[in-house]
């Protein structure tokens, strides 16, 4: 499965084609879904251009994207940097659960090493919203192993930092090995960031794992040239995955 991550936490103006508004997200979503992307990951932004977990901003982004791409699962981030307050994060998530079905996320990525993670993941699962368990480090693996609801997650995201390829491969091997046997039926999605983005996408293809690409993870093509937009990145990703099989 190839997922598109359309914007991330990049600052407004950091890339000429970075989609931040609901209309821009819908445009890019339609373009990548036409290329066979099976799911979408968004970081909704408010009118001020900053990342937002407010229910109104979530609803505006999701409704626009769903109108452009009916039937495609759409998820959002819950990164603790967006709202670094556990109680406020949980209040925000409760507001999402009250949104109409067409305006609330199908899934939410929850980074398990962050302080709000276990309570937030439980709240989302109880509301029927899927959880992607973000695994950034061995600490997160330990939390996932101990969490009684690990088997209920939608996906495990093995997420590698902006490091050189050789280091990223070593880190990925370690995390995947540590996860072996933990909720084994839950799909693994492997991806990187910046320098590790294309190496991890290639490695995912070689190992038959799900992966993702988009302006959240990288702004360059595999040859290091500038990536003009999300569509160009997905076209390149499909070529890399085809050659990796």
Q: What is the pLDDT of residue 245?
A: 78
Pick the closest to residue 89 from 48, 121, 113, 130 (CA basis). 121
Is the pLDDT score of 58 beyond 90?
Answer: yes
Boundaries of every domain in the chain: 2-244
Is residue 104 within 8 A of residue 56, CB to CB? The reply is: no
Pick the closest to residue 192 from 225, 240, 153, 142 (CA basis). 240
Average predicted confidence (pLDDT) for the chain: 97
Is the pLDDT score of 74 beyond 90?
Answer: yes
Q: What is the pLDDT of residue 127?
A: 96
Is the pLDDT score of 164 beyond 90?
Answer: yes
Q: What is the pLDDT of residue 224?
A: 96
Is the pLDDT score of 38 beyond 90?
Answer: yes
pLDDT in tens, 169-210: 999 999 999 999 999 999 999 999 999 999 999 999 999 999
Helices (H) and strands (E) in the chain, counts: 8, 8
Q: Of all residues in the chain, what percent carry a pLDDT higher than 70?
A: 100
pLDDT in tens, 78-99: 999 999 999 999 999 999 999 9
Report the alpha-carbon distance of residue 129 to residue 201 in Å, rounded.
26
Domain 2-244's class?
alpha beta
Pick the closest to residue 68 from 108, 28, 128 (CA basis). 28
Pick the closest to residue 193 from 177, 171, 176, 174 (CA basis). 171
pLDDT in tens, 102-160: 999 999 999 999 999 999 999 999 999 999 999 999 999 999 999 999 999 999 999 99
Pick the closest to residue 29 from 50, 9, 48, 44 (CA basis). 44
Mean of pLDDT values over 165-172:
98
Query: What is the pTM assigned to this prediction?
Result: 0.96
């Amino acid at each position: 499965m190839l997922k598109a991550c359309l914007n991330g936490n990049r600052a407004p103006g950091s890339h000429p084609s970075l989609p931040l508004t609901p209309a821009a997200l819908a445009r890019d979503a339609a373009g990548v879904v036409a290329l066979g992307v099976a799911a979408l990951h968004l970081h909704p932004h408010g009118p001020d251009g900053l990342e937002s977990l407010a229910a109104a901003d979530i609803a505006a982004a999701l409704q626009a994207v769903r109108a452009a791409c009916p039937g495609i699962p759409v998820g959002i981030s819950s990164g603790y940097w967006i709202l670094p307050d556990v109680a406020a994060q949980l209040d925000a998530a409760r507001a999402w659960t009250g949104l109409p079905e067409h305006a609330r996320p199908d899934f939410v990525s929850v980074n398990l090493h962050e302080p709000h993670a276990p309570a937030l993941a439980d709240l989302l699962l109880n509301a029927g919203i899927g959880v992607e368990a973000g695994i950034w480090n061995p600490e997160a693996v330990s939390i996932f192993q101990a969490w009684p609801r690990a088997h209920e997650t939608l996906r495990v995201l093995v997420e590698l930092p902006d490091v050189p390829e050789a280091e990223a491969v070593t880190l990925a091997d370690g995390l995947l090995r540590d996860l072996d046997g933990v909720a084994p039926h839950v799909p693994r999605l492997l991806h990187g960031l910046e320098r590790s983005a294309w190496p991890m996408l290639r490695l995912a293809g070689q190992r038959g794992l799900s992966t993702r690409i988009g302006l959240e993870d990288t702004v360059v093509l595999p040859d290091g040239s500038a990536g003009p937009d999300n569509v160009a990145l997905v076209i390149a990703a499909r070529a890399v995955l085809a050659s990796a099989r």
